[in-house]
Structure 1
Amino acid sequence: MLVASFGERVVDVVPKVVRDDDEIVHQVVRAPHCVNHRYSNSSMSIDYSTVLSYRPAHPLRVDRGVSVSTPRDRRVHVAVIGAGPGGLCMGKRLLDEGIDDFVLLEKSAGVGGTWNLNRYPGCECDVQSALYSFSFEVKPDWSKPYGTQPEILAYMQHVAEQYGVLPHVRFGNGVHRAVWDEASATWTLTLDDGATLTADIVVSAIGMFNDLSWPEIDGLRDFAGPMFHSAQWDWDHDLTGERVAVIGSAASAVQFIPEIRKQAGMVHLFQRTANWVTPKVDTPYSEEQLEAFRKDPTPILQFRREVEDSMNKGMTFTNAEKLALAVTAVNKSLDQVVDPAVRDKLRPQHPYGCKRPLMSNAYYPAFNEPNLELVTEHIARITPTSVITDDGHEREVDAIIVSTGFAATKYLSAIDVVGRSGQHIDDAWNDGATAYLGITTAGFPNLFMLYGPNTNNGSILTMIEYQVEHVVGHVRRIRDEHLAWVDVRPEPMARYNDEVQQAIANVPVWNADCNGYYRSPSGRIVTQWPFSMLEFGERTAAIDPADFEVAVR
């Protein structure tokens, strides 16, 4: 857990960090990466006594009550792309504002976004569960300190139903093109099946983790056996007793490798780069504790405040002493690996924090088992039945699991977006994705993003709530002032992004060479927010009219 000291009430029921170095590690892993920040104890200004309405989640199931249908040739006031956490929060707040003329366009068959997409064995959150729920719907009874994918998905399904968002979701409706029409001041969205939808306002809630990344390996598509991406897990395929090749060793692999090893005959893990894998305090809560949390959520609410306050006070990747403590803790965990040669291959060569630090208590010990092989030689090619590395070693395999993550830096450019004067967002983002507050980009009126460029920080649900409130402010202004559109001016957007990039430049570990997902192809870091969550909330809380060009209807 993140906080080593709690009020007496919390100590009684919430497992506490047992050593100071553990606390440091957990702060480094999911901290807000602050360079500098303003801090206030009134974090988010939430009255926690009024927000707890969550009921124990219903069993995991396919979303019901909404057919997979296409809103053909319709016009809506607001079109939200995606029904993950951002889309659901946006839908809830639109309803709060009395706006019901909106639709959530979801390409899959269920809500939940990344938690609906990623269903691999062992999938769970790496942010403390206490802070991984919306402020308006705090969940007190997570099964353990870091929630699992099934219960997070069930929570998202609950939010969709509880707040009336589900009837607005149209499943099986992916968006592949969005074009701005200056004359009508509307966006025309082209769906995957060719149907179109016209909207006054578009909110992209697709985030960072929606576009699968596949490795470029000679012969990959020639493999004759089952092959699937970890984010498209094939639960119909039984790995029992099979020889399995896993390509990639980052966030997903760290979670599913210990699980599939128990089932497979042999697992060959092909690692390009060793990652920092930190231990975590994650003892499941007892049923007695969970029942106590449901009856009196005060301890969990207090712990939520502690976690949030600790993040906002700032555990920084610029603090050499604390980074050294984190490295010591990981090296101590690495000592569990018996074979010194394997242990050395698992030891990262890049600075802690250059890439996303990972979390697992089971990953390193799994390498002591005889049916898990770590392969660090580069893959030369893949045949219909095997994987061949540069040293000529050929390994016959029955199945391949690709665990190479997502094209995280593409953001909305995963969709063909055409703004004013026919400008494509790919061209606007030629040097890397940029947006004012990570939400609006000049030249693309009435287009807003959630979990956009440089907003990756702490608990993304907290960041999403700040972003949604900012977008709602624009929607309200468009309505109340009878505006046709709003568009951020290039100058304030440039000033803002220059400031963000300068702060990022002051974080040495982020600027080390480690081939992480933070960087766009141009070399620009487009994912990380270098200040605190609280500062992001303060910046997004007010809209300066001078920063935006507008047109009246």
Structure 2
Amino acid sequence: MIVVGAGFGGLGVALSLLRAGFERFTVLERADDVGGVWRDNTYPGAACDVPSSLYSYSFSPNLTWPHRYAAQPDILAYLRRNAEAVRDRIRFGADVVAASFEGHRWRVELASGEVLEADVLVSAVGQLGTPSTPALPGLDRFTGPVFHSARWRHDVDLRGRRVAVVGTGASAAQFVPEIQPLAGRLTVFQRTAPHVLPKPDAPRHRPARALTSRAARAGVWLVGEALTGLLNAGRFSRGIVAAIAHAHLTFRVRDRTVRERLRPRTPAGCKRVLFSNDWYRALTAPNTEVVTETITEVTTSGLRTADGREHTADVLIWGTGFEVAGFRLPLRVTGRHGRDLADVWAGRPRAHLGMTVPGFPGFFLVYGPNTNLGGNSVLTMIEAQCRYVVSAVRHLAETGTGLEVRPAAAEAFDEEMRARLRDGVWSGCASWYRSDDGSITTNWPGGTGEYLRRTRRLRLGDHQLTGGA
């Protein structure tokens, strides 16, 4: 068995297999360390916006989180500790470029030219691995340092410099308050004002840490389910979230003109809701300007907007998120009869329960299409998928036959997802949640409790048997 990726998803699969007694697996990681997005995103202020007690494996609670919301270094350290149990099964520097189903087995090709084979292939590359940069005219003209928040240039000194930040999403909400005191002048380009809620963060003392990680985990999960319910339930419920965000904005921003510029125009929840206590403080600082005009081009010395104004800068930082909706895997996956997964999806990724695709036997996606969340910990979804993969591996071990999801089951699930998401909160505005055709291909329409129920056991009736090893 081969698992591609050593982030939360890939390590979760590996640890779950080991706990179930399966030892014949290999994890292929193209980098030189585990961690996935928590290894790659090292920008100032990088942290999780899910409470620490729920942002860990249920089978490996962490009693040493120093804060209610864990910072990137602490999360990476947690992943490294958990990886020790399977480190001898991880191959670092193993860049998977292609995988094809041939003769009842998966043929996996590395960039080095090496070829491996496996009965089961798991893609755990996640949804947040490819940074998105806007296709602006003149991208190559700017003469200063240019980088994306997910590829932070720690060698670039921002002290006293004119810094331009494009984007006001989740990453920007964390790094902008950190770099604002350093910059001589900070210009933040906002396309759409986000809904921002207070972040109830605080240091964790030793007694509280144990309580948070053990007794309160279920309580934190229930709060996340409640937030998901508010966002999904309807206009009135979403209005509650919007009202809290509006009160936060009003309290933090006294200037009415500036407050109007920062007021969200989209329904609460259709874009990712942000959590921050110092976002508005940074945007209203004397050295910060928020620009809402559309950027038309990049110049040698800054950015030009639709009003003709050129905003000069010494450093340009993209806080523009990731290429998610297209779900472009970093490897080419070919199933039965030479069918390319990218062609099968044709710009609209879909998978049964977010994990399996007809025509691709023994292939599983972790954190695949329609398994992202808007109001709870995605690790709950990932653990459910890990258990599901283990069930499939157990079936193969006991019967000698593999599994392939039936087209009818996959089509029924896809139709259900499209119907439930068509008029839901995420259909209300353009965002990274949506594919090119307007469909929602990233998010799960319900709570995590529903997903846990639906993945609790392997439904053999949804699958057809394939040849074993």
Same fold (TM over 0.5): yes
Question: Residue in 1 aligned with 2:157?
Answer: 238
Could you tell me how far 1:371 is from its partner in structure 2? 1.2
Residue 107 of structure 1 contacts residue 174 of structure 1 at CA under 8 Å; is this kept in 2? yes
State the distance in 2 between where 1:396 and 1:193 align: 43
Correspondent of 2:43 among 120, 133, 152:
120
Structure 1 residues 299, 214: closer, same or farther in 2, change over 3 A?
closer
Correspondent of 2:394 among 476, 479, 486:
476
Check if 1:496 corresponds to 2:410.
Answer: no
Could you tell me how far 1:128 is from its partner in structure 2? 1.2
Residue 46 of structure 2 contacts residue 71 of structure 2 at CA under 8 Å; is this kept in 1? yes
State the distance in 2 between where 1:230 and 1:104 align: 27
Correspondent of 2:21 among 98, 120, 134:
98
Question: Residue in 1 aligned with 2:317?
Answer: 401
Residue 85 of structure 1 contacts residue 112 of structure 1 at CA under 8 Å; is this kept in 2? yes
Check if 1:355 corresponds to 2:234.
Answer: no
State the distance in 2 between where 1:382 and 1:367 align: 22
Could you tell me how far 1:410 is from its partner in structure 2? 3.1
* AA in 2 matched with 1:284: P
State the distance in 2 between where 1:310 and 1:334 align: 22
TM-score when normalising by structure 1: 0.81
Structure 1 residues 329, 110: closer, same or farther in 2, change over 3 A?
same
Correspondent of 1:327 among 242, 245, 248:
242
Residue 140 of structure 1 contacts residue 293 of structure 1 at CA under 8 Å; is this kept in 2? no
Check if 1:166 corresponds to 2:87.
Answer: yes
Could you tell me how far 1:380 is from its partner in structure 2? 1.6
* AA in 1 matched with 2:284: N
TM-score when normalising by structure 2: 0.95
Partner-residue secondary structure (3-state), 2:215: helix
Question: Residue in 2 aligned with 1:176?
Answer: 97
Residue 110 of structure 1 contacts residue 116 of structure 1 at CA under 8 Å; is this kept in 2? yes
Structure 1 residues 299, 240: closer, same or farther in 2, change over 3 A?
closer
Could you tell me how far 1:501 is from its partner in structure 2? 2.1
Could you tell me how far 1:395 is from its partner in structure 2? 2.2
**What does 1:86-485 correspond to in 2, within 5 Å?**
86-161=9-84, 164-181=85-102, 183=103, 185-285=104-204, 290-293=205-208, 297-298=210-211, 300-312=213-225, 315-317=229-231, 318-335=233-250, 336-411=252-327, 413-457=329-373, 458-483=376-401, 485=402
State the distance in 1 between where 2:114 and 2:253 align: 55
State the distance in 2 between where 1:126 and 1:190 align: 36
Check if 1:548 corresponds to 2:469.
Answer: no
Question: Residue in 2 aligned with 1:534?
Answer: 449
Could you tell me how far 1:130 is from its partner in structure 2? 1.3
- Give aligned pairs, total: 463
Partner-residue secondary structure (3-state), 2:140: helix
CA deviation profile, 1:70-96 (whole Å, cap 9, x unmatched)? xxxxxxxx1111100011111112222
* AA in 2 matched with 1:98: G
* AA in 2 matched with 1:123: A
Partner-residue secondary structure (3-state), 1:274: coil
Question: What are structure 1's unaligned runs of at least 5 residues?
Answer: 1-77
CA deviation profile, 1:410-432 (whole Å, cap 9, x unmatched)? 33544221111111111111151
* AA in 2 matched with 1:459: S
Could you tell me how far 1:298 is from its partner in structure 2? 4.1
Structure 1 residues 221, 307: closer, same or farther in 2, change over 3 A?
same
State the distance in 2 between where 1:333 and 1:381 align: 34
Question: Residue in 2 aligned with 1:521?
Answer: 436
State the distance in 1 between where 2:348 and 2:358 align: 14
Using the TM superposition, name which of 97-106 and 240-249 deviates more. Answer: 97-106
Could you tell me how far 1:302 is from its partner in structure 2? 1.9
Could you tell me how far 1:534 is from its partner in structure 2? 1.6
Partner-residue secondary structure (3-state), 1:410: coil
Partner-residue secondary structure (3-state), 1:215: coil
Residue 427 of structure 2 contacts residue 438 of structure 2 at CA under 8 Å; is this kept in 1? no
Structure 1 residues 431, 392: closer, same or farther in 2, change over 3 A?
closer
* AA in 2 matched with 1:325: I
* AA in 2 matched with 1:116: R
CA deviation profile, 1:293-343 (whole Å, cap 9, x unmatched)? 46xx24542211112234446633224333222212211221222333322
Could you tell me how far 1:175 is from its partner in structure 2? 1.8
* AA in 2 matched with 1:388: R
* AA in 2 matched with 1:472: V
Residue 334 of structure 2 contacts residue 340 of structure 2 at CA under 8 Å; is this kept in 1? yes
Residue 229 of structure 2 contacts residue 447 of structure 2 at CA under 8 Å; is this kept in 1? no
Question: Residue in 2 aligned with 1:38?
Answer: none
RMSD of Structure 2 on Structure 1 (CA): 1.7
* AA in 1 matched with 2:271: K
* AA in 1 matched with 2:98: R
Structure 1 residues 106, 299: closer, same or farther in 2, change over 3 A?
closer
